């Protein structure tokens, strides 16, 4: 019961969709028709994870700009199953694709990000190699770091590019003030959905054999077991399965992909300090 309203329980699981007083009530009867009753109660609080947990920049500012004749930025309301996306492009070879002519500032303060392990860039591109994020090209003081894909061959799909937090912090101060670029040796278009900080969860796939579109897949959704080695107490443990950036419902640890493409398993949680814990693995299916 949640605030005196019954919640449906299916296979021992239920979803709490609001705050309030949660009561878990057990009843039974024995062979002599004697009734038994037991219960305990909990307080359902506001979620500790929302769209700002771990967030650095979600590129939702909906502005576009052109810089000279070489590069520009265009905001898109939707692209390849993502909403609120910024498109960055170069029009010549050996160019710097503009990320912002202003500061790429963070949502939280510096200390919050320093408590995480990585910055994750959610990117869609045709680039088949790691990229270099740089800034201050205009005043010839060029600094940067490599943004590496965490899934090989993920070209033409939304996927994650990662950089260690220590490297990101090497140019923190300049990112807050200066123009930022991604360097490309050829004419390129890059779409960025978000940049966010994560603490790494070491998750291991328990899926064996090949995965095909239309076949049922079983996955371990006992997330408390998956994150047991995190070293701290975690809350709001969650598994999200994405196929080509669209979420697939997982019911009793099973789901069925309905098309080919990039299949991602993303585990998330948070702690008392509001940090974002995340683990991920991915498959290509046909």
| pLDDT on residue 67 | 58
Rounded Cα distance between 123 and 235, Å, is 28
- Please calculate the CA angle 205-208-212 and round it to the nearest 5 degrees: 105
* Whether 96 contacts 109, CB under 8 Å: no
Give Cα separations from 8 to 4, 56, 158 (angstroms): 13, 37, 35
H-helix or E-strand containing 274? none
- At residue 139 the predicted structure's pLDDT band, cuts being 50, 70 and 90, is very low
**DSSP state letter for 13:** B
b vs e for 46-74, b when ≥16 Cβ sit within 10 Å of the residue's Cβ? eeebeeebbbbbbbeeeeeeeeeebbbbe
Report pTM: 0.76
Phi, psi of 138 (to 5 degrees): -60, -35
Query: For 32-36, 71-75, 108-112, 198-202, which range has the lowest pLDDT when averaged over its residues?
Result: 71-75
202-285, what's its fold? Immunoglobulin-like (2.60.40)
| pLDDT on residue 197 | 93
The residue among 63 and 254 whose pLDDT is bigger is 254
Percent of the chain surpassing pLDDT 70: 70
User: pLDDT by residue (tens digit) across 255-271?
Assistant: 889 998 888 989 888 88
pLDDT at 152 over 60: no
Ramachandran quadrant class, 172 (left: phi over 0; alpha: psi -120 to 50; beta: rest): alpha
* Whether 71 contacts 97, CB under 8 Å: yes
By the 10 Å C-beta count (0-12 exposed, 13-18 middle, 19+ buried), 193 is classed as buried
- At residue 198 the predicted structure's pLDDT band, cuts being 50, 70 and 90, is very high
Out of 2.60.120, 3.40.50, 3.30.70, 2.40.50, select the CATH number for domain 55-199. 2.60.120
Asked, colleague to colleague, whether 55-199 and 202-285 share their fold, the answer is: no
**Which tokens go with 55?**
């967030």
User: pLDDT by residue (tens digit) across 26-59?
Assistant: 888 888 888 888 877 876 656 666 788 888 888 7
* H-type alpha helices, 84-230: 110-114, 165-170, 172-175, 223-226
- Please calculate the CA angle 187-193-194 and round it to the nearest 5 degrees: 115
H-helix or E-strand containing 125? strand 118-125
Instruction: List the domain boundaries for the chain.
Output: 1-46, 55-199, 202-285
pLDDT at 194 over 50: yes
User: pLDDT by residue (tens digit) across 228-242?
Assistant: 666 778 888 888 899
């Amino acid at each position: 019961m949640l605030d005196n309203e019954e919640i449906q329980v299916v296979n021992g699981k239920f979803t709490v969709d609001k705050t309030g007083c949660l009561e878990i009530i057990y009843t039974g009867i024995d062979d002599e028709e004697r009734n038994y009753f037991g219960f305990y109660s909990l307080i359902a609080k506001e979620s500790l994870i929302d769209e700002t947990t771990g967030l650095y920049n979600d590129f939702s500012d909906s502005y576009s700009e052109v810089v000279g004749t070489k590069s520009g930025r265009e905001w898109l309301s939707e692209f390849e199953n993502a909403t609120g996306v910024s498109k960055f492009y170069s029009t010549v070879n050996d160019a710097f694709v503009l990320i912002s002519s202003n500061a790429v500032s963070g949502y939280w303060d510096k200390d919050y990000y320093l408590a995480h392990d990585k910055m994750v860039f959610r990117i869609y591109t045709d680039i088949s190699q790691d990229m270099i994020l740089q800034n201050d090209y205009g005043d010839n003081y060029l600094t940067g770091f490599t943004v590496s894909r965490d899934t090989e061959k993920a070209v033409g799909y939304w996927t994650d590019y990662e950089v260690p937090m220590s490297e990101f912090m090497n140019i923190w101060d300049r990112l807050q003030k200066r123009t930022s670029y991604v360097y490309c040796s050829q004419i390129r278009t890059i779409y960025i959905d978000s940049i966010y900080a994560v603490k790494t969860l070491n998750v291991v796939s328990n899926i064996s054999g090949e995965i095909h579109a239309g076949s049922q897949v079983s996955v371990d959704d006992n997330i408390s077991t998956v994150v047991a080695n995190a070293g701290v107490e975690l809350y709001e443990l969650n598994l999200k399965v994405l196929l080509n950036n669209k979420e697939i419902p997982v019911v009793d640890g099973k789901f069925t992909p309905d098309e080919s493409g990039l299949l991602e398993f993303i585990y998330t949680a948070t702690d008392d300090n509001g940090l974002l814990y995340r683990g991920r693995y991915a498959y290509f299916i046909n």
